[in-house]
Amino acid sequence: MSKETKPEMMEEYKVLMYAGMLVDAAMLAEGIYQTKLPSIYGTDTTLESLIFTAKNMNDMMGNSFLPESYFKNIVKCELVKVTMVADLRSVIRGKLVEFKKWHNKECGLRGGTILESEIDNFLSNSPVSNGESGC
């Protein structure tokens, strides 16, 4: 597989936005603040459902956990659909590196060690074999 046709995993979500910026949902009670790490919501989430849930978050005395400023700020925002793309090759490489660490610790010299270069060769469809490497 060439680098131009990497396998990808795509998922749709919604994020809270205001004036084209990602909003820090945890700061809405203080104001509308930009973030680089937004909260993500399911595609069926609406502002109304977020507000409904927030209004029903009360302490044992029935008092709201959130101040009125939270609700004034959230209604200024919008939920926008976004598509997240994960490079499956990176995900698989991460899992193989975790396996390599376990294998090398558990099997050591008797089972042969796995090198990260072998993982990279395997993922680039040109595996290099150094014989059997199993415990």
Verify that 62 and 104 share a domain, yes or no.
no
Verify that 40 and 19 share a domain, yes or no.
yes
Verify that 56 and 97 share a domain, yes or no.
no
Q: Are the C-beta atoms of residues 25 and 45 closer than 8 Å to each other? A: no
Q: Does position 15 have pLDDT exceeding 70, yes or no?
A: yes
Give the model's confidence band at 31: pLDDT under 50 very low, under 70 low, under 90 confident, else very high. Answer: very high
Verify that 73 and 26 share a domain, yes or no.
yes
Give the model's confidence band at 127: pLDDT under 50 very low, under 70 low, under 90 confident, else very high. Answer: very low
Domain count of the chain?
A: 2
Question: Does the CA dihedral 119-120-123-127 come out positive or negative?
Answer: negative
The pLDDT of residue 130 is 47
Give domain status of residue 2, yes or no.
no
Verify that 71 and 28 share a domain, yes or no.
yes
Which of 131, 90, 89, 91 has the alpha carbon at shortest distance from 114? 131
Give domain status of residue 70, yes or no.
yes
Verify that 94 and 77 share a domain, yes or no.
no
Which of 27, 4, 10, 121 has the alpha carbon at shortest distance from 74? 27
Of the listed ranges 6-10, 74-78, 117-121, the least confidently predicted one is 6-10
Polymer length of the chain: 135
Per DSSP, 48 falls in state H
d(CA 46, CA 29): 19
| Helices 116-123 + 88-111 axis angle, to 10 | 140
Verify that 45 and 57 share a domain, yes or no.
yes
Amino acid at 21: M
Residue range of the domain that includes 110: 88-123
Verify that 64 and 93 share a domain, yes or no.
no
Q: Does position 91 have pLDDT exceeding 80, yes or no?
A: no
**97 vs 72, more confident:** 72
**101 vs 113, more confident:** 101
Q: Largest alpha-carbon pair distance within the chain? A: 69
Of the listed ranges 41-45, 59-63, 76-80, 119-123, the least confidently predicted one is 119-123
Verify that 71 and 93 share a domain, yes or no.
no
Q: Does position 28 have pLDDT exceeding 90, yes or no?
A: yes
Q: Where are the beta strands (DSSP E) in the chain?
A: 8-18, 21-22, 40-41, 78-87
Q: Are the C-beta atoms of residues 30 and 110 closer than 8 Å to each other? A: no
Q: Is 71 left (phi over 0), alpha (psi -120 to 50) or beta?
A: alpha
